[in-house]
Amino acid sequence: MRFDPRRVALTLAAPVLALVAAVAIASLVLAAAGDPVIEVWRTILQPPKPRNVVNIINSASVLYLSGLAVAIGFRMNLFNIGVDGQYRLAAFVAAVVAAQGWLPGVLNIVLTIVVAMLVGAMWAGVAAILKVTRGVSEVISTIMLNAIATALVAYLLRKASVQVAGSNNIGTAPIPEDSRMPGIALIPGAPNEVYGFVVVAIAAGIAYSVLLSRTTFGFNLRATGRSESAAVASGIDVKRMVVIAMLISGGVAGLVGMPLLLGSAYSYGLTFQSGLGFAGIAVALLGRNNPVGIAIGALLFSYLNEQSNPLQILVGVSDDIVKIVQGIVVLTVVIAYEVVRRYGVAQEQRKVARELANQRRRDSEEVSAA
Amino acid sequence: MEDEPGTRAVACVPGFVRPGCSSPRPSGACAIEPRESTTGGPPDEVAVQLRGIAKRFPGVIANHDVDIAVRRGTVHAIVGENGAGKSTLMKILYGVQRPDDGTITVGGTERTFHSPSDAIATGIGMVFQHFQLADNLTVLENVVLGAERKHGIGDRARERIAEISDSYSLDIEPDRLVAELGVGARQRVEILKVLYRGAEIIILDEPTAVLVPQEVDELFDNLRELKTEGLAVIFISHKLDEVLAVADEITVMRRGTTVATVTPAEVTARQLAELMVGSELPSPATEESTVTDRVMLSVRDLTLAGGGRRPLLSDISFDIHAGEVLGIAGVEGNGQAELVETIMGMRRPTSGTIALGGDDITEWPTRQRREAGIGFIPEDRQRHALLLDAPLWENRILGHQTREPNVNGPFIDRRAARKDTQRIIEEYDVRTPGIDVLAAALSGGNQQKLIVGREMSGDPVLLVAAHPTRGVDVGAQAAIWDIIRAARRGGLAVLLISADLDELIGLSDTIQVILRGRLVGVCDPATVTPQDLGSSMTGAGAAA
């Protein structure tokens, strides 16, 4: 594809527009509540310290995987809201398996990851099978499955748990030291390390990109998302595609809890981070299902999260304002992309009409000259 | 009129009885209207005047310098090939689009329409090609929907409907369910809807596209009634014989502008067509037979159960030989779409077999059938044959995802697919600035040429073509006919479904008539006339 400055400008226009609008609306909310608008933004926009940079990268890697899981469904018009339940169930089962230490060291890590992906895929597969055999909307079934996953994990946690010394927290047994994923001292001057799992997250992004835009499978998936009727007529088995796409989405969702499990928590307990699946939906929307876009979205969200921590202390404003900003960003991004997309299509149609008119004029000039 | 009682009864779609069938309308209604009172009317009788209308519209050839004057008490036809700007012009007149330039004068007053309700308020009504009726409501409910303030929704409305129906001989019963009505009756309901809203200027967009010849005659009787009452009818069409039969004045559009206004007496169909195209008119001419004795597609006792009492397809059997075009004639909705989908593997037959060149493909999925060499031109190209949001080269891959030159193992071979798209564009004369353009940006004819080019790639042995030239311009139509003929000479077997009887007769080696899911007769295209075909399609031919 040739480099087209206009196309690049169009691509950038939407997120920039959306961010500006989101900041403006959030400022209005702050002003209406009588909070110091300037101070809040100054705190959020101050340069992060090395320690914070590591935190941003770490939580972005988790959000990124979650965003990818959702995006795979989105590319096929499947709304996998169940990433949340899928990753929690997967992380729990993987934590239990990892703690057994059946395999030594790295092999145990591989086993843990495989188990997590299988469990995530299986949980998503329930929704897929309901959809293709009974026509149940995956939106409904995955929401239900989220609730079931919450209950199931809580129930099983009682059975599989060990008391964490000196606290009321319960959790699975910690995974053996030799099968924890070592961190990477990426940022100089930071006391903490970047999750080793960041590498896996990046690899997942590359795999996503290759799978979708370079393979026949990816073509089938995108074709089904763009027009199911055309996909059927072209010989794509749409039901099979639904099942496979949901399985892959669930499998990637299974990875979401892995950076935490293998890189910091080392067990699944009551305090294991939840809600990442829903954040993933926002991140996928923000990144327009594009692997680079999702990365930017994940970094933006985790930046906002990290930078909002001192708000309470420094300016006495609840850090929930950042959640409001994130919510507004998602809405404005969706609107801005649609506006820009329509503008782009209209531009293209105009361009085609113009070029064809020019061709025709040239043709008729040739005829009259001859 | 008097010599047609038989056909009049035939035109009543079986399954319901219209009162008009037993009591023919006052005959000679069409003869009452003397031509001189319409064509020679004084200027103050002009109902609508369009002057210098221009519209720049993305992707569609702009309207420019459009001048049309429609007089009261006349049927004014607007003809032009697809993409000539008829639809845009009508949308402007009906307030859907606003012109960039020019004026609309209704009844001597200049008007600006911001929406269709403005147009309706000034007495302009439109009957769309695709009916806008709710099947599960009665005629009355459909008519009053959105016009409740006119005469309420009860007896007053019912009386008014009966009154309109009587005065224009529309034969509409207000309390019938629309679901029970045939196509012709539904169209009359649409006309009634427009009249109910007080329209004095009625636009009919390709009204005959969905009708069989006998129903067309009835529609024309209705139109003559309308103009007798002093209404102005604007009739959009590209069927020239019909236009010549019904119109008082004909305006020809070409490339977005009006090129001539003539009366039927002045021109022949051929001259009119040449005005439309601006050059010689192509026609589907029968050629020397290329039918071989090699059976390519063999369908036996194919039955497809439907949700209702009656199967969608019953005991369909036919063979298509290499080099043969088998045409299927039928009123839409008689099983053609289901037949195509069953042959393509998109539906599973309840019983019966399908064999392609000796292989039983009854159980094969669509993909495998396509790989075995079945090319497919679906009826609705935008829904079934294209990814509108994808560039042309990706559309080249669609339906050929597993075949050369598009793939290389599990990967898409972008370079080869793009190169082959370029080839199709050149060979099949797809007018586009490039292969990275979205499919949505092309005109209908060019989209269809791309599809035909794609489906002819990879040496198909059987082409299933459903309405291959529907909604494409005359140039593209001729090109597509040429491609089908050339491929037939090369030994391709073709299953052709078409609503265009001339196309069927011109291209087919054999024509089978389908009625309510059954093949009810075989016609020889060399001898059959569109009228005969029309009769068989409604069931009259089978009885005869």
SS3 annotation, B289-313: CCCCCCEEEEEEEEEECCCCCCCCE
Residue A303, domain extent: 50-316
The verdict on a CB contact (< 8 Å) between B438 and A348 is: yes
Task: Look at residue B5 in the predicted model and tell me its pLDDT.
Answer: 39
Return the CATH number at A156: 1.10.3470
Residues 6 or more apart whose CB falls under 8 angstroms from that of B457 comprise B400, B420, B424
Q: Does B384 touch chain A (CB under 8 A)?
A: yes
Residues 6 or more apart whose CB falls under 8 angstroms from that of B502 comprise B283, B284, B530
Q: What is the mean pLDDT of residues B179-203?
A: 87
Same fold, B24-123+200-269 and B286-373+460-544: yes
Q: Do both A19 and A84 map to the same domain? A: no
Task: Out of A214, A234, A359, name the one closest to residue B398 (CB).
Answer: A234
The verdict on a CB contact (< 8 Å) between B397 and A219 is: yes
Residue of B nearest to A210 (CA): B411
Task: Out of A230, A350, A351, name the one closest to residue B386 (CB).
Answer: A230
The verdict on a CB contact (< 8 Å) between B385 and A236 is: no
Query: Cα–Cα distance between B406 and B401 in angstroms, integer?
Result: 7
- Residue A119 near residue A317 (C-beta atoms within 8 A): no
Task: Look at residue A123 in the predicted model and tell me its pLDDT.
Answer: 96
Q: How many CB pairs under 8 A join A and B?
A: 105
Interface test with B, best of A352, A358, A360, A367 (most B CBs within 10 A): A352
Q: Look at residues A316, A340, A355 and tell me which one is the last residue of a structural domain.
A: A316
Q: Do both A95 and A219 map to the same domain? A: yes
Task: Out of A215, A222, A357, name the one closest to residue B411 (CB).
Answer: A215
Q: Do both A191 and A292 map to the same domain? A: yes
Residue A138 inside a domain? The answer is yes
State which H helix or E strand residue A276 sits in: helix A276-286
Task: Look at residue B36 in the predicted model and tell me its pLDDT.
Answer: 36
ipTM of the complex: 0.82
Task: Pick one of 3.30.70.20, 3.10.20.30, 2.40.128.50, 3.40.50.300 as the CATH number of B24-123+200-269.
Answer: 3.40.50.300
Q: Does B436 touch chain A (CB under 8 A)?
A: yes
Residue A239 inside a domain? The answer is yes
The verdict on a CB contact (< 8 Å) between B387 and A226 is: yes
Residues of A in Cβ contact (< 8 Å) with B59: 349-350, 352-353
Query: Cα–Cα distance between B252 and B260 in angstroms, integer?
Result: 5
pLDDT tier at B250, thresholds 50, 70, 90? very high
Task: Out of B371, B387, B402, name the one closest to residue A227 (CB).
Answer: B387
Task: Out of A222, A233, A349, name the one closest to residue B59 (CB).
Answer: A349
Give the single-character DSSP code of B438: B
Q: Which 3 state secondary structure label does DSSP give B282?
A: coil
**Superfamily name and number for B286-373+460-544:** P-loop containing nucleotide triphosphate hydrolases (3.40.50.300)
- Residue B356 near residue B372 (C-beta atoms within 8 A): yes
The verdict on a CB contact (< 8 Å) between A356 and B436 is: no
- Judge if the upstream peptide bond of residue B468 is cis by omega within 30 degrees of 0: no
The verdict on a CB contact (< 8 Å) between A232 and B366 is: yes
Residues of A with CB under 8 A from a CB of B: 1, 214-220, 222-223, 226-227, 229-230, 232-237, 345-346, 348-353, 355-357, 359
pLDDT tier at B82, thresholds 50, 70, 90? low
| Nearest chain A CA: its distance from B500 CA (Å) | 23
The mean of the pLDDT values for chain B is 81
Q: Do both A156 and A17 map to the same domain? A: no
Q: Which two tokens stand for residue B88?
A: 């845009």
* Other CB atoms within 10 A of residue B170 CB: 20
Q: Does B402 touch chain A (CB under 8 A)?
A: yes
Task: Look at residue A259 in the predicted model and tell me its pLDDT.
Answer: 93
Domains contained in chain A, number = 2
The verdict on a CB contact (< 8 Å) between A346 and B411 is: no
Q: Worst-scoring range by mean pLDDT, B89-93, B128-132, B184-188?
A: B128-132
Q: Which 3 state secondary structure label does DSSP give A186?
A: coil
Terminal Cα-to-Cα distance of chain B (whole angstroms):
21
Q: What is the mean pLDDT of residues B502-526?
A: 87
Q: Do both A253 and A337 map to the same domain? A: no
Q: Does B433 touch chain A (CB under 8 A)?
A: yes
Residues 6 or more apart whose CB falls under 8 angstroms from that of A204 comprise A64, A65, A68, A252, A255
Q: Do both A163 and A17 map to the same domain? A: no
Q: Does B394 touch chain A (CB under 8 A)?
A: yes
The verdict on a CB contact (< 8 Å) between A349 and B441 is: yes
Task: Out of A216, A232, A353, name the one closest to residue B402 (CB).
Answer: A216
pLDDT tier at B443, thresholds 50, 70, 90? confident
Q: Does B366 touch chain A (CB under 8 A)?
A: yes
- Residue A182 near residue A35 (C-beta atoms within 8 A): no
> Which is more confidently placed, B266 or A204?
A204
- Residue B491 near residue B322 (C-beta atoms within 8 A): yes
Task: Out of A235, A353, A355, name the one closest to residue B365 (CB).
Answer: A235
Residue of A nearest to B368 (CA): A235
Q: Do both A97 and A1 map to the same domain? A: no
Question: One digit per residue, pLDDT tens: chain A, 370 residues?
Answer: 445 677 777 777 777 888 888 889 989 998 998 888 888 888 888 888 899 999 999 999 999 999 999 999 999 999 999 999 999 999 999 999 998 888 888 899 999 999 999 999 999 999 999 999 999 999 999 999 999 999 999 999 888 777 666 667 788 888 888 888 888 888 888 888 889 899 999 999 999 999 999 999 999 999 999 999 999 999 999 999 999 999 999 999 999 999 999 988 888 988 888 889 999 998 998 888 999 999 999 999 999 999 888 888 888 888 888 888 888 888 888 888 888 888 877 777 777 777 776 766 666 665 555 4
Interface test with A, best of B364, B401, B415, B449 (most A CBs within 10 A): B401
Nearest residue to A220 via CA among A233, A204, A236, A206: A236
Rounded to whole angstroms, what are the CA distances from A115 to A70, A100, A258, A366, B185? 20, 13, 11, 69, 64
| Nearest chain A CA: its distance from B485 CA (Å) | 24
What are the residue boundaries of the structural domains of chain B, listed by start? 24-123+200-269, 130-199, 286-373+460-544, 380-458
The verdict on a CB contact (< 8 Å) between B432 and A356 is: yes
- Residue B237 near residue B206 (C-beta atoms within 8 A): yes
Query: Cα–Cα distance between A11 and A16 in angstroms, integer?
Result: 9
The verdict on a CB contact (< 8 Å) between B442 and A352 is: yes
Task: Out of A215, A232, A348, name the one closest to residue B412 (CB).
Answer: A215
Task: Look at residue A241 in the predicted model and tell me its pLDDT.
Answer: 93
What are the DSSP E strand ranges found in B442-499? 462-466, 493-497
Task: Out of B384, B394, B433, name the one closest to residue A233 (CB).
Answer: B384
The verdict on a CB contact (< 8 Å) between B401 and A216 is: yes
The verdict on a CB contact (< 8 Å) between B378 and A233 is: yes
Residue of B nearest to A225 (CA): B387
Residue A23 inside a domain? The answer is yes
pLDDT digits (tens, 9 = 90+) for B427-441: 888 888 788 888 887
Q: Look at residues A316, A331, A362 and tell me which one is the last residue of a structural domain.
A: A316
* Other CB atoms within 10 A of residue B148 CB: 10
Residue A43 inside a domain? The answer is no
Q: Which two tokens stand for residue A195?
A: 């999750």
Residue A276 inside a domain? The answer is yes
Q: Do both A21 and A62 map to the same domain? A: no
Task: Look at residue B38 in the predicted model and tell me its pLDDT.
Answer: 37
Q: Do both A110 and A218 map to the same domain? A: yes
Q: Does B441 touch chain A (CB under 8 A)?
A: yes
Q: Does B84 touch chain A (CB under 8 A)?
A: no
What is the torsion angle, in degrees rounded to the nearest 10, for the CA atoms of residue A47, residue A53, residue A57 and residue A59? -90
Task: Look at residue A83 in the predicted model and tell me its pLDDT.
Answer: 94
Residues of B in Cβ contact (< 8 Å) with A226: 387-390
- Residue B335 near residue B520 (C-beta atoms within 8 A): no
Residue of A nearest to B384 (CA): A230
Place of tokens 């004068």: B105
Q: Do both A328 and A236 map to the same domain? A: no
- In this predicted structure, the answer to whether residue B24 has a pLDDT above a threshold of 60 is no
Residues of A in Cβ contact (< 8 Å) with B370: 234-235
Q: Worst-scoring range by mean pLDDT, A90-104, B313-327, B494-508?
A: B494-508
- Residue B293 near residue B278 (C-beta atoms within 8 A): no
| Nearest chain A CA: its distance from B183 CA (Å) | 26
Residues 6 or more apart whose CB falls under 8 angstroms from that of B34 comprise none
User: Hey, which residues 51-70 in chain B have their CB within 8 Å of chain A?
Assistant: 58-62
Task: Look at residue B97 in the predicted model and tell me its pLDDT.
Answer: 84
The verdict on a CB contact (< 8 Å) between A237 and B397 is: no
Q: Do both A212 and A331 map to the same domain? A: no
Residue A195 inside a domain? The answer is yes
Q: What is the mean pLDDT of residues B277-287?
A: 58
Q: Does B472 touch chain A (CB under 8 A)?
A: no
Q: Worst-scoring range by mean pLDDT, B320-329, B435-444, B515-524?
A: B435-444
Residue A180 inside a domain? The answer is yes
What are the DSSP E strand ranges found in chain A? 162-163, 170-171
Q: Do both A109 and A236 map to the same domain? A: yes
User: Hey, which residues 408-427 in chain B have their CB within 8 Å of chain A?
Assistant: 410-412, 414
| Nearest chain B CA: its distance from A212 CA (Å) | 10
Residue A45 inside a domain? The answer is no
Q: Look at residues A316, A332, A351 and tell me which one is the last residue of a structural domain.
A: A316
Query: Cα–Cα distance between B70 and A281 in angstroms, integer?
Result: 57
